[in-house]
Amino acid sequence: MKLAYLLNSYPMTSTTFIRREIAAIERAGVPVKRFAVRHWQERLVDPQDMSERGRVEYLLSGQGRRLMSGLVRHAVLHPRGFGEALEATREMHRAAGGGFVRHSAYLAQAIRLRARCRDLGITHVHAHFSTNAATVAMLCHRLGGPRYSFTVHGPDELEQLVENSVGDKAQHAAFVIAISAYCRDRLQAYLPEHLHARVKIVPCGLDLRDYPSDPGPPPMSARLLSVGRLCPQKGQAEIPAAIAAAADTAPGLSVVLIGDGESRAAIEREIAATATGGKVKLLGWRTNAEVRRRIGETRALLLPSHAEGLPIVIMEAFAMGRPVITTRIAGIPELVDDSCGWLVEPGDGAALAEAIRAVMAASKAKLAKMGKEGRKRVMARHDLDRIAPRLIALFAAASGS
C-alpha cells in the first residue's frame, strides 16, 4: 500500500492534529505523501508546522497554468472518463448552488492528483473534511485514480451535507470516517441505509509522548485557560461577562485566551464593557509547547462552544490532568461528564458563571481526581499510537494490500 493524505490548506495552526495523525501512521511503518490544495495564508507559529510545510505538494498554489493544460490534455486523450467526471462536477456545482469556476478548478486539481498518484504508485488517498479536498479525491477516483476515503468532523460539515454532496462522495468512497458516535449518527441519518456500514468511527487523538506521564494535580490558582480560533462558534465573546459575574466569589479570577480570529474585536468590546481588562488576556496563537505549558499552569480549561466536533484541546487538557468547563453539544458529552468536567448549555451565561464558581470552589483533591479521570479517558480512547493501526488497516483493506 502507498498512502497519500489530501487536505485543503495545510499545515494550519488549527490542524496540528492532522500532522500528528500522519506522524503516527509513519511511526507505524507506512510512509504518507502529503498533498494539499493550497498554502495557508496566515502565519504559522509552531516550528513543527513550519517544517511540515516543506513536505507538502500543492495542487493549486502556483500551478494554475499547469492545471489548465492538464485539464485540456486529459479531455482530449480520455474523452469518456473526462465526460463522466465533468458531469459529476456539474452535479456538485448544482448541489452547492453555484461556483462553476471553483468546481472546474476541482476537476483540474483531480486530473493533476491522478497523474501524481500514478507517478508515485499511490493506491489510496485519504482526505480530512468532507469539503473540497474530498471533492478532489472523489473526482480523481472517478477519473481512474486510486480509491479514497474521507473524515467528517463537523460542525459545519454536518449542516451542509447536501451542499457538499456528501452522499455522492460516500457512494464512491471506500469508507467514511466519523470522529464520534454523534457524527456517525448524523451521517447515517442522512445517507441511504446501504451506505451506513461504510461509516466507521475513528477518533482523532494525541501523541501522548508529548505529555508528562504524571502531570500532577491542577494548581490551586485562580487562572483559567481557553484555547481555539476566536470565532462565534467557540463562544469566547461570552467569557468576559462570565468572568465578571463569577469574580465576586473568586478573588483573583482570570483567564488567558490563546488563539486569534474574527471574534477578536467582539471579545475586546466585551472586555471593555465588563471592565475585565485585568482579568481576561488575549495572547494570540502560540506554539504547541507553550499551549501545553500553559495548560499545566491552569486550574481548568474553559471552552464555551456553540458548535464543535470533538475538540482536540479538551483531549490536551485531559492529557495534562486538567478538568474542563465546556458545553453539552455534539460529541463532547462522549468524552466529558461530571466526573472530569462541567457541562453547560451553549449560550447560558449564568450557567457558565456558575460552573466557573464551582471550579474555583473545588478542593485540590477533587480537581486532581477529575484530572486523573480525564487523563484515563484520553489514554484509553485518543492515543494516536493505538489509533494509527486502525487507520492503516482500513486503508490497506480499501487498497487491497
pLDDT of 87 strictly over 90: no
pLDDT of 105 strictly over 90: no
pLDDT at res. 251: 86
pLDDT at res. 75: 62
pLDDT at res. 69: 64
Which grid cell is 168?
455522492
Q: Cell numbers 495572547 correspond to what residue?
A: 283
- Cα(399)–Cα(127) distance, integer angstroms: 15
Residue-wise pLDDT for 341-361, tens only, equals: 999 999 999 999 999 999 999
Nearest to 34 by CA among 141, 122, 146: 122
Residue-wise pLDDT for 136-191, tens only, equals: 999 999 999 999 999 999 899 999 999 999 999 999 999 999 999 999 999 999 99
Q: Cell numbers 498533498 correspond to what residue?
A: 35
Which grid cell is 395?
486503508
Q: Cβ distance 310 to 236 under 8 Å?
A: no
3-state secondary structure the chain: CCEEEEEEECCCHHHHHHHHHHHHHHHCCCCEEEEEEECCCCCCCCHHHHHHHCCEEECCCCCHHHHHHHHHHHHHHCHHHHHHHHHHHHHHHHHHCCCHHHHHHHHHHHHHHHHHHHHHCCCEEEEECCCHHHHHHHHHHHCCCCEEEEEECCCHHHHCCCCCCHHHHHHHCCEEEECCHHHHHHHHHHCCHHHHHHEEECCCCECHHHCCCCCCCCCCCCEEEEECCCCHHHCHHHHHHHHHHHCCCCCCCEEEEEECCCCHHHHHHHHHHCCCCCCEEEEECCCHHHHHHHHHCCCEEEECCCCCCCCHHHHHHHHCCCCEEEECCCCHHHCCCCCCEEEECCCCHHHHHHHHHHHHHCCHHHHHHHHHHHHHHHHHHCEHHHHHHHHHHHHHHHHCC
Lowest mean pLDDT among 7-16, 80-89, 184-193: 80-89
Q: Cβ distance 174 to 150 under 8 Å?
A: no
Mean pLDDT, rounded, for 20-45? 96
The CA distances from residue 200 to 20, 117, 197, in Å, are: 20, 25, 7
Q: Which domains does the chain have, with CATH numbers?
A: 3-205+383-399 (3.40.50.2000), 209-381 (3.40.50.2000)
Which grid cell is 194?
446501504
